[in-house]
Structure 1
Amino acid sequence: MALEMNFLALTCVCSLLTAMISVIVLMQKKKSEKKIRKKLPPGDMGLPWIGETMEFYKAQRKNRLFEEFVQTRRAKYGKIFKTRLMGSPTIVVNGADANRFFLSNEFKLVISSWPSSSVQLMGKDSIMEKQGEAHRCLRRVIASSLSCAVLEAMVPKICHSVESHLNKYWHNKDQISLYRVTKILTFTIVFECLLGINVEQEMLGMFERVLEGVFAAPFAFPGSKFSRAKRARKEIEKVLVDIVREKKNEMEGGLEGGEREGTLLAQLVAGMIRGEISEEEVVDNVVLLVFAAHDTTSFAVAMTFRMLAHHPNCFSLLLRENNDILSKKRDGEKLTVEDTKKMKYTWQVARESMRLFPPIFGSFRKAIADIEYEGFVIPKGWKVLWTTYGTHYIEDYFPDPLAFNPSRFEEPIQPYVFLPFGGGPRVCAGYQLAKLNILIFVHYVVTRYDWSLQYLDEPIIMDPLPFPSQGMPISISPKLL
């Protein structure tokens, strides 16, 4: 009996201790949650789950995300504020210090965070989904195909593509859609010059259908954008798998120069042969890089011509620079990488155009730990949204920020202020290729054609990336040489 009573007493004591510990843990948890709530940035989380997503999308479609969504909240709450977007609690940050903090702490405090639809369409094995060493391994392979030596050898190929493009789409025409035909050109350059793949006529259409669904709701019901995009993605995958396997057989059989060929596809397949990456990774990264390289570049080209049309004095300076380069070339002689280095004012114009009309709005990161920043706490699992406009349009970094002033790029710009290609470990690997595309195309157009925009203030909309709503029609006539 005494033993039973002692056991019962011990059981009661254990139960009491367990209850006390549970209460203490619960109190600590509530205290911690209360502490986090107190330290969260100001802002409005909006409706449950939906949050402020509808306001975000509405502003996005008009390409006024900064003015109608970010700037209004920034004015009310400060340069860091909370909201809820697409079901996720989100902290929006602005300024070079925030860009530096979050972009340079990739893999340490934050990781890239894309919508489910984007991941499914770009590919779960693409570099945008890779973290840490897996990301670094793939980036090394891609960077090796965009080295200075490779880019130098690529310049004549890009010149050839531009000349062929002008002969096909501009010759004997008095009007063209600049943005639309430039998309064809940048798509061709990515495939033929970077990847070493011949472009089939229907391929651009396939990629365009995929792009339509990258930010759509990930519901594959018949007729939806996402459903159409998924079908197009499967068609692309089928084509690319055949190309990758053919390239692998050629390289293993010694029929090609292997990695010495220099194309990105050859580098990726060589990594596959060595067992460093899989066939799925090769295909997914080709898909991603095509999107990353051609849509953003064609928009940057279009905005460069838009701003030149608005500022004839800037166009005169740019034209003089390019005519000087042309005057030193023999008839039919192609540009060299040294010629592109002389296009300093042309690149200032392009950079200022991208500052005012950045090809990307920004991107999301996800906190992988509780983050203390600017006296606030960003809880683990929350999203962080940085924006290009958060520095591009701020007077502290660019005096009179709405004015078009290419000369502001005569002096070096401080890091994490000008971000049309992102920053940190995930900065666009194709930045230098995009630069060459822009400079070479602008050179050939302004030295061979007189041109004028039909609509000086054509609205820019987003679906899902920014583009001129009418395709930027221009009137053209060949110069008399």
Structure 2
Amino acid sequence: GSGFHASRRQKYGNVFKTHLLGRPLIRVTGAENIRKVLMGEHTLVTTDWPQSTSTLLGPNSLANSIGDIHRKRRKVFAKVFSHEALESYLPKIQQVIQESLRVWSSNPEPINVYRESQRLSFTMAVRVLLGFRVSEEEMRNLFDTFQDFVDNLFSLPIDLPFSGYRRGIRARDALQKSIEKAIREKPLCPQGKDYRDALDVLMESAKENGTELTMQELKVTHTHTHTHTHTHTHTHTHTHTQYGDCF
């Protein structure tokens, strides 16, 4: 916890060795020290995740890529979140938000803002960014599975039947199975030429950069996109505590 790191910092200074999830690491504190680390990526330091996180995200994810591979993938993904692309997603995003607000306002019980904002961000990732068409029941099941995945991203890398790590692996595999099914069904039910989702833009961008994404890369990319969207909303809601837990 914070008390442990505070005591170690007081004893050893702003840079000291410790362990996290069974792995050695160096704890860095202070603006100048952190700046040196951030500015030294790919020269002084490289990105590294705990073993459980790295395994669950997969070797093809952007988070696990370094050097030229990372730069090439960032170039492919950049178009997905360009100003033009985000503008094209806006009508669909507004539609999903309006539907959610109607459901919330019709509920006589208090709404848990934190939980519902997580559900909303997940729904936007599934329906708007990735263009998947799923029923409400399937969406609920996917959301619960995704929660299992996120909750165990930083679990201890102990692969036992009832460990958090194993639950995370099961959740990841279930998500990727659903994602593959949705990707294969996507050409059979087009949304129309007036709308391109992030998956369309991603595949187009990959071709423009002379890259063909495999099914495994697409599945890992979608899992990572879900995680990124979900985590951003989680952090924003947690930081802005003035919104409270419910209204």
- What TM-score does the superposition give when structure 2 sets the normalisation length? 0.85
Q: Does 1:227 align with 2:166?
A: yes
How far did 1:146 drift? 0.8
Paired AA for residue 182 in structure 1: S
Contact 1:186 1:294 in 2 (8 A): yes
Rounded to whole Å, the distance in 1 between the matches of 2:99 and 2:192 is 26
How far apart are 1:210 and its partner, in Å? 1.4
Q: Does 1:264 align with 2:202?
A: no
Give the match for residue 217 of structure 1. Answer: 156
**Could you tell me which residue of structure 2 aligns to residue 402 of structure 1?**
none
Q: Does the 8 Å contact 1:186/1:298 carry over to 2? A: no
1:150, 1:307 → 2: CA distance? Answer: 32
- Give, in whole Å, the separation in 1 of the partners of 2:114 and 2:60: 31
Higher Cα radius of gyration? 1
What residue identity is the alignment partner of 1:188? T
Structure 2 counterparts to residues 170-249 of structure 1, below 5 A? 170-199=105-134, 200-201=138-139, 202-247=141-186
Q: Which residue does 1:167 correspond to in 2?
A: 102
- Tell me the equivalent position of 2:91: 156
**Counterpart position of 2:42:** 107
Correspondence 1:288 to 2:229:
no
**Which whole-Å deviations, capped at 9, do the CAs of 1:431-457 have from their partners, x for residues lacking one?**
xxxxxxxxxxxxxxxxxxxxxx4xxxx
> In structure 2, what is the Cα distance between the partners aligned to 1:74 and 1:298?
28
Q: Is the 8 A contact 2:52 2:155 kept in 1?
A: yes
Residue 145 of structure 1 pairs with residue 84 of structure 2: no
Aligned-partner Cα distance in 2 for 1:261–1:131: 33
1:290-309 correspondence to structure 2 within 5 Å: 290-304=226-240, 306-307=241-242
**What stretches of structure 2 of length at least 5 have no aligned partner?**
none
Give, as a single letter, the amino acid of the residue that structure 2 aligns with 1:177.
N
Superposition pairs for residues 31-180 of structure 1, below 5 Å?
59=1, 65=2, 68-180=3-115
Bigger proportion of residues as strand: 1
The Cα of 1:157 is off from its aligned counterpart by 2.6
Aligned Cα RMSD in Å?
2.7
State the identity as a percent. Answer: 29
Deviation per CA, 1:376-424: give whole Å up to 9, x if none: xxxxxxxxxxxxxxxxxxxxxxxxxxxxxxxxxxxxxxxxxxxxxxxxx
Structure 2 CA distance for aligned equivalents of residues 148 and 288 of structure 1: 21
Structure 1 residue matching 2:6: 3-state secondary structure: helix
Q: Distance in 2 between matches of 1:210 and 1:272?
A: 30
Distance between the aligned counterparts of 1:261 and 1:119, measured in 2? 34
Q: Do the aligned partners of residues 210 and 203 (structure 1) sit closer, same or farther apart at CA in structure 2, a change above 3 Å counting? A: same
1:197 & 1:102 partners in 2: Cα distance? 39
Is the contact made by 1:195 and 1:263 (CA closer than 8 Å) also made in structure 2? yes
Distance (whole Å) between structure 2 residues aligned to residue 277 and residue 110 of structure 1? 28
CA–CA distance in 2 between the matches of 1:272 and 1:130? Answer: 20
**Residues of 1 paired with 2:52 and 2:75: CA distance?**
27
Partners of 1:279 and 1:214 in 2: CA distance:
22
Amino acid at match of 1:88: R
Corresponding residue SS for 2:19: strand
Count matched residues: 241
Task: Give the direction of change, closer, same or farther, for the CA distance of 1:140–1:218 in structure 2 (3 Å limit).
Answer: same
Residue 275 to residue 172, structure 1, CA distance change in 2 (3 Å): closer
CA distance in 2, matches of 1:119, 1:191: 23
Q: Following the alignment from structure 1 to structure 2, what is the Cα–Cα distance between the partners of residues 264 and 92?
A: 37
CA shift at 1:261, angstroms?
Answer: 5.0
CA separation of 1:302 and 1:86: change in aligned 2, threshold 3 A: closer
Contact 2:18 2:27 in 1 (8 A): yes
Q: Which has the larger helix fraction?
A: 2
8 A contact 1:145–1:264 mirrored in 2: yes
Task: Tell me how far 1:126 sits from its aligned partner.
Answer: 0.6
Q: Which has the higher contact order (CA 8 A, sep 6+)?
A: 2
Moved more, 227-236 or 149-158: 149-158
Corresponding residue SS for 1:176: coil
CA contact (8 A) 1:141 1:267 kept: no
For 1:246 and 1:107, the matched residues in 2 are separated by: 39
Q: Kindly tell me: are residues 96 and 236 of structure 1, through their superposed partners in 2, closer, same or farther at Cα, counting changes over 3 Å?
A: same
CA distance in structure 1 between the partners assigned to 2:30 and 2:221 by the alignment: 31
Cα distance, 1:131–1:100 mapped onto 2, change above 3 Å? same
